[in-house]
Structure 1
Amino acid sequence: METTKNFFKNQALTTKIVIVVILTLLMLIPIGMVRSLITEREGNKVAEQTEMSDRWGGRQLLTGPVLVLPYKQSLAVGSAAPSFVYCLPEEYNVTGDIKPEERTRGIQKILSYQSTMHFEGKFIFPDYKSLDLNEALIQWDEAYIVMGISNLQGVKNKIVFNINGHPQEILANVADNDLIRSGVMIRMPLAAADMGKSCNFDFDLVLNGTDGLHFLPVGRQTNVHFNSTWKSVAYTGDYVPTEKADVKEGIDAQWNIFDYNRSYTQMWVGKNDSFGSTKLGLDLLLPVDHYQKTMRAVKYAIMFIALTFLVFFMVEILSKKRIHPVQYLLVSFALVLFYSLLLALSEHIGFDWSYLVSALAIVMLITAYSHSIFKSRKQTLFMGLFLSALYIFLYVVIQLEDMALLLGSIGLFIALAIVMFVSRNINWYKDDERIDKSLD
């Protein structure tokens, strides 16, 4: 027993280092709990936002218009259900404006929009001979045009579908087909004599939605032009638009797509698995939310604790004042509490103000506690300045997401260089001897 006591006396400094390292590693447990709390709160937010989004209209996908021509399998009575001939427009032009609006419920918010669009284009009636079809099996009088709208509850105007300038009746229920399940349809009776003829169409659509608005490039030549006052957008799908560079506020984007840019033809019979495989559109983005920023901040928690412990340890060595492991533990709890405060406050007053309030509270708490440990204004002031610099550094790193790794690495390099410079003249073995004497 005496041998063990003498061992710890002779290794006092090393023992303290081991204890501090163990305490630092133990802080991974409460840090993990904070990360789980952030994930849980963010999951609740997503659930609420999904409910709000569905009520407003959701992410919208527009398909068509597509001309559908029912085709019997045989002339026998009671034969199998008919197949369908699908014909896409020769020309398909869309122009529109997207007006964004942030909608809130409680502490949650979503980015909704209302889009006012004008559609116009041209169909050339299908040449059934090119598909090797029997004219007698084609149900010409049952032909119709279908326009796919993924969330019909988002439609906010009475759709007037004009064919060659004449308004047509809109039917809310889409007839059976292999292509589109949700949307509207327009009866379009044809005759064999119409083969090869063309017709022009146009209509206006006012559509509510959230997050994004997407299209399928159904035309042999597709032109889609949109502008919006919202600048934070992500262009999605398989095609990159051309943007006007002189737009100061918002976006002005145009897509020009041809049939050879996609993987399906203008006309086919039956199912077509490649239809819908390519699309274009944009998503409206909210700025990075407070949950993502808080989670990003938590990733640096162990570094904060390690650096703070290192400063306390260096002060302990240089000032010859002993700091109890319990005091290290209390300081680490305060550092972890910062992230809990940040999460709770950011749900109500935004991330920036929450960060300022939480950081000030923790810096003042640890600085005041440091004074009771160091009994020195100079050392207490140093600790306060150190913590302030640390939280300022973290805030800058969070804001500069793309440069976070570089800035973080540079910051750690500078911190290590400072520690090496300050500790360059310490005789670690002699310090062990000093602590041994203080323990006797």
Structure 2
Amino acid sequence: MDITNASQFLSANRLTIKGIIVACLILIMLIPTLFIMSLVNERANRQEAVAREVSARWATEQTFTGPILVIPYRESIQSEVGKTTVYKKYAYFLPDQLKINGVLEPEIRHRSIYNIVVYRANMQIEGYFSPIQTEGLQIAKEDLQMQEAFVCIGLNDFRGIEDQLSLSWNDSSHIFNAGMPDDHIIKNGLHTPVALDYNDLAKSNTFKLQLHLRGSENLSFTPVGKTTDVHFTSAWTNPSFDGSFLPVTTPQITEKGFSAEWKVQHLNRNYPQCWKDGNYNIADSRFGITLLQPVDSYSKTMRSVKYAILFIALTFGLYFFLEILQKRTVHPIQYVLVGLALSIFYTLLLSISEYIRFNIAYSIAAAATVALITLYTKSIFHKWKIAMLFGVMLTTLYTFIFILLQLQDGALLFGSIGLFIVLAVVMYYSRKINWYI
């Protein structure tokens, strides 16, 4: 009697039970997806490690800071017992005008299957310091050690300096040396002595500098001028402009490269034109250019993997409906095999896109997956009409996801509308199914 009742229960609720099984299979098939996500992250991390290796041999990201005029001075402090101690301190002066004109020459370095973007930057740097006023700093002129004055610039990686670096200061030339006599403002930089006399305090001091620099991916500048003008051109067609300031006008980006211009006033930043004993973090005001890779296959692959639940759920759902409409039973193992075929698509996409363009890799992986599942569907239902219908559904779904991958700001809106339409179609065609038989 119990066996008979159980048999009747299973017969009366077979669709519900099969639906639960299919739902469980959908969740189980997400496990391979998690492994694929981990694989994508591993390959992306490997690419970053290779980029660091190449940068370590070429030169890392570069940030140019300066020039800054530093003048040591003496400060006498008298103790309570009347003893006077003389300390050596530093006063810092920033230029009134700083102009940087440059050309960024990108290069692609190959390591194994990875492409790493590096650059050479040819910069013409010029400007002037206005007459030096020390009254506001409360430094007596006789306390200034003019013969020990020096000009310093900051760079991230000295390995990127390609030529001897000299500073044209007024009518004289000075060779830069590595290291900083004082590193309160610039931690990593070069300096050159520019011996001054008291007459130089009352006049403007001009400077000029030619810098040929290597670096990787990013080039930034610190706006130390009272007015800082930066103009750069490059043959790179996929730049990003980042940091504290954007170009003053819309950058010109064409198939031949880009041109961008910045203009920053001293009122736009949070440190003065001159100070003493202050420890300002002037690096916070930097801005610059990042050379982006034209196609980041790993980020697009990761985005596509996130839609795996959509592929698996719709595919299994269609198989389930076909079971009911065609009155043909599909074994859970067959569901699993179809789910594995859908998962293999992502490993195909990941591996192929490491060698060729992402869009072509996507087309190849999608075509192979659609063909495999279409033929397998024909072997299950023994009808080409159903198999071709299934192939069209998968092709439409892969095309839909491909469009989402190309979008940026509109991806969420377009995706939400698409999913709503899919759900509406499923609800429409399932309305006449009698779920109680």
TM-score, structure 2 length as denominator?
0.93
Structure 2 residue 418 is matched with structure 1 residue 411:
yes
1:169 deviates by: 2.7
Partner of 1:383: 390
The amino acid across from 2:113 in the alignment is I
Indicate the percent of aligned positions where both proteins have the same amino acid: 40
Distance 1:257 1:408 in 2: 41
**CA distances 1:209-251 after superposition (whole Å, capped 9, x unpaired):** 1111111111111111111222322211222213367664322
When structure 1 is superposed on structure 2, of 270-279 and 297-306 the one drifting more is 270-279
**Hey, what does 2:354 align to over in structure 1?**
347
Residues 81 and 276 from structure 1, CA distance in 2 versus in 1: closer, same or farther, beyond 3 angstroms?
farther
In structure 2, C-alpha distance between the alignment counterparts of 1:271 and 1:245, rounded to whole Å: 36
Q: Of the candidates 322, 331, 338, which is equivalent to residue 345 of structure 2?
A: 338
Q: 1:419 to 1:177 in 2, by over 3 A?
A: closer
Cα deviation digits, residues 82-103 of structure 1 (max 9, x gap): 2211011111111111111222
* 1:210 is aligned to 2:212: no
How far off is 1:340 after superposition?
1.4
State the 4+ residue runs in structure 1 displaced beyond 4 angstroms.
75-81, 244-247
User: What is the CA distance between 1:407 and its match in structure 2?
Assistant: 2.1
CA contact (8 A) 1:65 1:146 kept: yes
- Structure 2 residue aligned with 1:28: 30
- 1:163 equivalent in alignment to 2:165: no
Q: Which residue of structure 1 lines up, in the alignment, with residue 427 of structure 2?
A: 420
Instruction: Tell me how large the CA RMSD over aligned residues is.
Output: 2.1
Say which SS state the counterpart of residue 180 (structure 1) adopts. Answer: coil
Q: Does 1:323 align with 2:330?
A: yes
- Where do 1:39-78 residues align within 5 Å? 39-74=41-76
Q: Determine if contact 1:62/1:214 at 8 Å carries over to the other structure.
A: yes
Q: Is the 8 A contact 1:126 1:267 kept in 2?
A: no
Residues 244 and 252 of structure 1 are in contact (CA less than 8 Å); yes or no, is this contact kept in structure 2? no
Give 1:290 shift: 0.9
Please give the residue correspondences for 1:356-367 in structure 2 after superposition, counting only pairs within 5 Å: 356-367=363-374
In structure 2, how many angstroms separate the alpha carbons of the residues matched to 1:350 and 1:203?
41
Give the gaps of 5 or more residues in structure 2: none
Number of the residue aligned with 1:262: 269
Q: Aligned AA for 1:165?
A: D
After superposition, the Cα gap between the structure-2 partners of 1:82 and 1:329, relative to the gap in structure 1 and judged at 3 Å, is same
Aligned equivalents of 2:391, 2:116: Cα separation in 1? 39
In the alignment, structure 1 residue 105 sits paired with structure 2 residue 111: yes
Q: Distance in 2 between matches of 1:72 and 1:168?
A: 25
Which whole-Å CA distance do the structure 1 matches of 2:33 and 2:278 have between them?
A: 53
When structure 1 is superposed on structure 2, of 92-101 and 122-131 the one drifting more is 122-131
The match for 1:435 is none
What TM-score does the superposition give when structure 1 sets the normalisation length? 0.92
Secondary structure of 1:334's match?
helix
| Cα gap change, 1:343 to 1:135, in 2 (>3 Å) | same
Partner of 1:192: 198
The aligned counterpart of 1:285 is 292
- Find the residue that maps to 1:428 and give its secondary structure: coil
Unpaired runs of at least 5, structure 1: 433-440
Which residue of the partner structure matches residue 4 of structure 1? 6
**Equivalence for 1:151:** 157
Report the residue type matching 1:351 in the other structure: F
Paired residues of 2:110 and 2:116 also in contact (CA < 8 A): yes
User: In the TM superposition, what is the alpha-carbon distance from 1:364 to its structure 2 partner?
Assistant: 1.6
Q: Which residue of 2 aligns with 1:252?
A: 259
Q: Which amino acid aligns with 1:377?
A: W
Q: What is the CA distance between 1:158 and its match in structure 2?
A: 2.2
Q: CA deviation at 1:75?
A: 8.3
How far does residue 10 in structure 1 lie from its aligned partner after superposition? 1.6
Distance across 1 between alignment mates of 2:250 and 2:331: 64
- Closer, same or farther in 2 for the Cα pair 1:78/1:308, shift >3 Å? farther
Contact 2:223–2:285 at 8 Å: present in 1 too? yes
Aligned counterparts, 1:382-401, within 5 A: 382-401=389-408
Cα deviation, residue 79, structure 1: 5.3
One-letter identity of the residue aligned with 1:339:
Y
Q: CA shift at 1:410, angstroms? A: 2.1
Q: Which residue of 2 aligns with 1:272?
A: 279
Corresponding letter in the other structure for 1:55: R
* C-alpha contact (below 8 Å) 2:76/2:87 kept by paired residues: no
Aligned residues: 430
Which amino acid counterpart does residue 33 of structure 1 have in structure 2? F
Q: Which residue of 2 aligns with 1:437?
A: none
Asked if 1:238 corresponds to 2:244, the answer is yes
Counterpart CA distance in 1 for 2:253 and 2:18 is 62
- State the AA in 1 paired with 2:71: L
C-alpha contact 1:243 1:251 (8 A) present in aligned 2: no
Q: Secondary structure at the match of 1:118?
A: strand
Which of residues 215, 219, 224 in structure 1 aligns to 2:230? 224
